[in-house]
Amino acid sequence: MTAAPETPIAANLPPPRWYRWMVLVLISLAMFGNYYIYDSISPLADVLKAQLGFSDADIGWLNAIYSLPNIFMVLIGGIIIDRIGIRRSVAIFAALCLVGATITVSSGVLEIMAAGRLVFGLGAESLIVAVTTAVAKWFRGKELSLAFGLNLTIARLGSFAALNSPSWGSSLYESWRLPLLVSVAAGVICVAGATIYWVLERTGEKKYDLGKGGSTDKVVLADLMRFGTSYWMIVALCVVFYSAVFPFQTFAVKFFIEAHGTTRETGGFLSSILTLFAMIATPIFGYSADRYGRRASLMVFGSILLIPAYLLMAYTSLSLYIPMAMMGVAFSLIPAVMWPSVAYIVGQERLGTAYGLMTMIQNIGLAGFNLLIGWTNDASGASVSHPEGYVPGMWIFTVLGILGVFFALLLLRRERGPQAHGLETITIAHH
């Protein structure tokens, strides 16, 4: 009697929903550690100034040098992702994050700390590109915007924890080194998340049909200029939006302490409001985009919210919670629709490269504006005895907000025309 042929594992079936969501949660742990390490500098700004004699320009440099290698690295990282696959890329970049955090805490010498931030930057932004590409791989055509939103929520828990560390770990701030040791622990979490994702993706590839994305035989650099006008409008918005937010956060705690008389604990919480709003609202906005479309319209609205926030903080005594809440909504809304929109414009086989190029150009802005704001604060004499010195920097951020509205309106106009990619109209049916 001949035995019946063995039924093959359901290799032609997509992964079940529970598996996709488990992948999302666990790969987001890598982002949690990444975000914590990045935001560990901001609450330390006045401690670094007092204990190590750093100027605002020095502190700006610690975040600017993070961005400098990414002007080139994230594009290379995007190509690496498309060549060697997502799981290997995630593992490599997570390891660099841990190494960078370890170097940063090893010495109070500016050059060594900057070297650590540089190594961290080499891994961190490319890790974000790899995780973004992973989310697109597992959720494209499904709950993509919601998945991006939840990914950012978990990642920003890292930022929230770091920015509020003066509250839950106030005793750590008696020394500049202790808070940075906690960031090394966050690096360990980053590597752990990358390792678990490796196992989940490898297992998933054997059991399920994950599509053809994630690798390509050849990346033609000339193709980078053929992504289309909508893609470049999103890139332009990305640059000015993040340049208005992250360099502000670099100095936000110090600004709140010196210009508005808050404690370090209150300043850290105020800065973390951006993160708190984003953790809660980003998945909601992502879900809304999945259900109703209107992605370009949402980007316009989010950009408008950013404009008045900085001037309110510079010129009024209005409660700081109000402008920070406005920024928080913008910081939730724009990323929730901006990053997944790229997946509707660029093919899966070039998605790692597209995200890498976008992040590369973003980091030109972040490096430049971290340095510019640090230099502007020093040149204007920004300090507790001269809080007006922060006003020129606030105007720089305001102009960036105005440019954000401009680029978002250009994108909306195109996406309502004959060359639209469906950003306003594509919706996902939920069952």
CA 414, CA 143: separation in Å to the nearest integer? 24
CA 240, CA 114: separation in Å to the nearest integer? 25
pLDDT score for 12 = 64
Query: CB 141: neighbour CB atoms within 10 A?
Result: 12
pLDDT band at 216 (very low <50, low <70, confident <90, very high): very low
pLDDT score for 222 = 61
By CB atoms closer than 10 A (0-12, 13-18, 19+), residue 384 is: exposed
Per-residue model confidence as pLDDT tens digits over 238-282: 999 999 998 998 889 889 998 888 888 888 889 888 888 888 888
Per-residue model confidence as pLDDT tens digits over 119-164: 998 888 889 888 888 888 888 767 777 888 888 889 989 988 998 8
Which residue in 338, 370, 362 sits closest to 71, CA to CA?
Answer: 362
> pTM higher than 0.95, yes or no?
no
* Residue 225 DSSP code: G
pLDDT band at 228 (very low <50, low <70, confident <90, very high): confident
pLDDT band at 62 (very low <50, low <70, confident <90, very high): confident
- Main-chain dihedrals φ then ψ at residue 388, nearest 5 degrees: -60, -20
Are the C-beta atoms of residues 373 and 250 closer than 8 Å to each other?
Answer: yes
Are the C-beta atoms of residues 371 and 250 closer than 8 Å to each other?
Answer: no
pLDDT band at 225 (very low <50, low <70, confident <90, very high): low
CA 56, CA 81: separation in Å to the nearest integer? 36
User: 75 vs 159, which has greater pLDDT?
Assistant: 159
DSSP string, 416-431: TSTT--STTT------
CATH class of residue range 17-415: mainly alpha
Per-residue model confidence as pLDDT tens digits over 285-296: 888 888 887 788
Are the C-beta atoms of residues 241 and 406 closer than 8 Å to each other?
Answer: no
Mean pLDDT of the chain: 83
Domain boundaries along the sequence of the chain: 17-415
